[in-house]
Structure 1
Amino acid sequence: MYDAVTKKHFSDSNDKDPFWWNEAVPIWVTNQLQENRSSAAATWPGTDVPIHNTISSYFMNYNSSVSFEERLINITMWLNNSNPPVTFATLYWEEPDASGHKYGPEDKENMSRVLKKIDDLIGDLVQKLKMLGLWENLNVIITSDHGMTQCSQDRLINLDVCIDHSYYTLIDLSPVAAILPKINRTEVYNRLKNCSSHMNVYLKEDIPNRFYYQHNDRIQPIILVADEGWTIVLNESSQKLGDHGYDNSLPSMHPFLAAHGPAFHKGYKHSTINIVDIYPMMCHILGLKPHPNNGTFGHTKCLLVDQWCINLPEAIAIVIGSLLVLTMLTCLIIIMQNRLSVPRPFSRLQLQEDDDDPLIG
């Protein structure tokens, strides 16, 4: 990432400057500033940075060599014994992301082994929370920020074949690349536009609205988006057999979400939601006022026991059922009206022979 105003560069190895973080307010900061509460984090990005002069009450600096077990021990200790109490905690784990990049998601043998290990670790988490008497009282959300798709050496987009590297500065690379032109922007755009049929090239102002990626100053003048499974490179090969960051409408980019706790319905299955919808849902559970965001709380209401909602299948069934009832009632009313309005045929009174006898003698 690059900030054109300050000329600063951001990198994963140098991410402690609050300058890069202060445009947003993460939920762990909100949790501490709005209420007399604590937040805790085990190797979660940004929790060791003083964002708006606030860091997570308890945290572990990110270190990929720290085991899941050590992270779990710290998180459960903070949840069980802290003052003020920890009401929001996060735990980050590198898998299956790391193995997905290394092997690719279609490597059944290796990925099955990795997923089995993750399943065992989640089991350890559940057992630890049960042992501490926290499992039935905590709301636990397990999810990811992305999916993964298969890549290969046969699907590379080499920018050096299309344009001289001296014409631009590459800010971010594959599958979404950010380009800062050194010469006329239109010329750089046109050269890149004709580079590959497996890559979309956008001027900043033409980026699709559904990406919500147009207005920040740190978005570069030209953005490249590779097709699913294709990798943007600079005259080199790629060691990744799996990657993410592609168009978020692709099913392969969709992560999963599982939730358990007193706030959630048990055994409920929900249709797809946007990952940003989780933020207002968590704020609701914590009783926090959310900061401006692109999430929609209404998309997650059906997950929560304290919210009334009707999901799409139920709504369709109710509408169809109501229409059927109205149709039947209408038909019955029409039939009854027709019966009441049918005129009786006139017939002259026919007298019998004894009808001349007086009725009163």
Structure 2
Amino acid sequence: MVSFEIGCNFIFILKKSFTLKYFKSLCLVVFLGVFQSVSARSANRLLVISFDGFRWDYIHKANNLTSFHRMINDGGWAIHGIKNTFLTKTLPNHFTIATGLYEESHGVVGNVMYDPAFKETFHGWLDKDARDSKWWDNGGEPIWVTNQRQDTQHRSGVLAWPGGLAIVKGILAYKTESAFDGLTMKERAKKMIKWFKDDYPINLGLYYENEPDETGHAFGPDSKEVLSKIYQLDNLLGDILYDLEDNKLLETTNIIVTSDHGMTPTPVKNDTLKINLDDYISLNSYNITSKNPVAGIFPASKELEDEIFQNLSRIPHAHVYRKKDIPPEYHYTNNRRIPAIILEPEEHYWISYNGSAGVNGEHGYNNSLTSMHPFFIAMGPDFKPGAKVDTFDNVDIYPLMCKLLQLKPAPNNGSLEIVSKLLVNRDSSGSSTFGVYILILLLIGLVGGIFGVAVCQAHREHRRRRLAVSSFSLPHSFRYSKSDRMPLMTNSSDDDFNDES
């Protein structure tokens, strides 16, 4: 676009005589064009994909995962996955990825949570709560909002990503799609690619799939069913990469593939792993929000809090905390939605109450457990091929996305210290500065050449007119004085050449 504008101005100026006035204009136009082309490298597109419950080591469980390994070879990855936030649940961690905030800061503290100010319970997988801003608009700024707030030409597309259906800070993503759209995996992937190709295309897409989480819950993380699902997701990722390539989008699109949490075995047939709350506290003495595996307990009255705490403290293979005593490294204290008491079982143990059943695989445990950690791989024009880091926190993904999109991050808990090692070094003080010098020299040469051509043309025109005058048909005997001489150029032309305005 800049080159086209410069070309148009060249034509306009050249059609005029090369006066100093227009020469100055030419220099200004060319300089601004070069400056803009050097200093305003446009950001590449960004596609973020989340495969729910994809544990960090799943890619080592299967052979010939061509698409995942292609991304690792052509881009960067976290060798031991990334550390998510406590609770290691789906909605809280997806909103953490989107905002770069701990759960106590962005306010989505569980898939199910009670807000004492609203006196209401949030069920995140219900469509009405997924769209209700009061549950999501609590100070955090999702990346799709940041993207549209800072550039009117930016458009975000959010497909099934938790929080993406709600208006936050007065902004809704340009394109949205519910998690319960009834589409197949391939149909969703096609829709996301279509959004990048529309007449008014998105430059940022966030895409969520609920596998292999559902399969892991049903059969356990070490099952053949989960292995089969991993191959299916590898094929899906391959389709996405090929579609981007076919539509000539791949070379200008950064792709991040990650997850919200891992999964650990909780075999329901093993009764020794079951913690039955009914054996310790009466059902009518409390309300419960999250229960698998961490239980969030709201005592029915303030007077019952001490009694409930003491009774829960007797449970083996579990830790019980009052809200004020939750360890600070959990970052799970400073929010009104966090329960008065939480009961945190050790890994593999699970909670039942009022006869509730368990599943064969579970997540939600302490985020220090490696079994809870998700994976992270990325590729694209801004990622170094073969780059790798050991691990990092998932709050770091938000500032990473902002850097890729050339946005100023909203306040967040993340850092670029580790993730920047995965990126191509585009230090403006090095090779970019050298490039600027080269372009300036080219600019000087270009303008000098144009000016030289213009001077030569003006000199030839001057000679042509003088010859035309000298060959004018006059009687041989006619003689004229200096005062009778015709001017070589008209007054208007002379004014043009001496115009300093």
> How does the TM-score come out when normalised to structure 2?
0.59
SS of 1:290 mapped into structure 2: coil
Match of 2:306 in 1: 186
Match of 2:241 in 1: 126
Residues 324 and 333 in structure 2, CA contact (< 8 A), matched pair in contact too: yes
Match of 1:208 in 2: 327
Match of 1:330 in 2: none
Counterpart-to-counterpart distance in 1, 2:403 and 2:323: 34
Against the structure 1 CA distance between its residues 254 and 64, is the aligned structure 2 distance closer, same or farther, given a 3 Å change threshold? Answer: farther
Matched, 1:243 2:362: yes
The residue type paired with residue 313 of structure 2 is K
CA deviation map 1:220-243 (0-9, x unaligned): 111111111111110425341001
Match of 1:73 in 2: 190
Residues 399 and 409 in structure 2, CA contact (< 8 A), matched pair in contact too: yes
The residue type paired with residue 46 of structure 1 is G
Counterpart-to-counterpart distance in 2, 1:307 and 1:205: 45
Match of 1:93 in 2: 209
Residues 283 and 354 in structure 2, CA contact (< 8 A), matched pair in contact too: no
The residue type paired with residue 6 of structure 1 is F
SS of 1:139 mapped into structure 2: strand
The residue type paired with residue 184 of structure 2 is S
SS of 2:399 mapped into structure 1: helix
The residue type paired with residue 280 of structure 1 is P
Percent identical: 38
Counterpart-to-counterpart distance in 1, 2:356 and 2:299: 24
Counterpart-to-counterpart distance in 2, 1:294 and 1:160: 39
The residue type paired with residue 248 of structure 1 is N
The residue type paired with residue 281 of structure 1 is L
Residues 301 and 307 in structure 1, CA contact (< 8 A), matched pair in contact too: no
Q: Deviation of residue 68 (structure 1)?
A: 1.3
Matched, 1:33 2:153: no
Counterpart-to-counterpart distance in 1, 2:426 and 2:215: 38
Give the alignment of 1:321-340 within 5 angstroms.
none
Match of 2:277 in 1: 159
The residue type paired with residue 54 of structure 1 is I
The residue type paired with residue 368 of structure 2 is S
SS of 1:157 mapped into structure 2: strand
Residues 159 and 177 in structure 2, CA contact (< 8 A), matched pair in contact too: yes
> How does the TM-score come out when normalised to structure 1?
0.82
Match of 1:173 in 2: 291
For structure 2, list consecutive stretches of 5 or more residues without a partner in the other structure: 1-112, 428-501
Higher normalized contact order (CA 8 Å, seq sep 6+, divided by chain length): 2
Residues 389 and 418 in structure 2, CA contact (< 8 A), matched pair in contact too: no
Against the structure 1 CA distance between its residues 237 and 188, is the aligned structure 2 distance closer, same or farther, given a 3 Å change threshold? Answer: closer
Counterpart-to-counterpart distance in 1, 2:307 and 2:256: 47
The total of aligned residue pairs comes to 305
Q: Which has the higher helix share?
A: 2
RMSD over aligned CA atoms reads 1.4
Q: Deviation of residue 53 (structure 1)?
A: 2.3
SS of 2:141 mapped into structure 1: coil
For structure 1, list consecutive stretches of 5 or more residues without a partner in the other structure: 309-361
Q: Deviation of residue 9 (structure 1)?
A: 1.2
Q: Deviation of residue 288 (structure 1)?
A: 1.4
Counterpart-to-counterpart distance in 2, 1:32 and 1:82: 17
